[in-house]
Amino acid sequence: QAQLLESGGGLVQAGGFLRLSCAASESIFNYIVMGWYRQAPGKQREVVATISSRGTTNYADFVKGRFTISRDNAKNTVYLQMNNLKPEDTAVYYCWANKGVSYWGQGTQVTVSS
C-alpha cells in the first residue's frame, strides 16, 4: 500500500514562510493527481492545492498568490511552498494522492502566530 510522509510543518509568525514536503513510498507517476488539504480545529478538511501527473496546478482562492505546489518526480516528492502566512492558515496539513483510490498522509501541524 502506498504511503505518504509529510514533513516541514512548524510554528511561524505571520508573514513568514514554510515549505511542506510529501514523500511517497513509490513513484509519483503512479498517481493521477496529488495535493494538499488542511483541517483547522472545528472545521472540515478543505483542499489547498493540487497538481496533476502532467503538472497542472489548481489552488484554493484563499492561497492564490501565496502558496505554490510543485513536484520532483526523481525524488517522488510533492512540495507546498507557503509564503506570507496568516494566522488563519493554522491547521493540520495533509498530503493526498489519488490513483483511483485515495491515499492520505498522517498530517503535519502548521501554526501561524499573530
The mean pLDDT of 6-18, rounded to a whole number, is 97
If one counts every other C-beta atom within 10 angstroms of the C-beta of residue 53, the result is: 15
Asked if 34 contacts 26 with a C-beta cutoff of 8 angstroms, the reply is no
Residue 16 has pLDDT above 90, yes or no: yes
Q: Can you tell me whether residue 26 is helix, strand or coil?
A: coil
Distance between CA 18 and CA 69 in Å, rounded?
12
Neighbouring residues of 49: CB distance < 8 A, sequence distance ≥ 6: 35, 36, 57, 58, 59, 60, 63, 67, 68, 69, 80
pLDDT in tens, 36-87: 999 999 999 999 999 999 999 999 999 999 999 999 999 999 999 999 999 9
Q: How far is it, in rounded angstroms, from Cα 36 to Cα 81?
A: 11
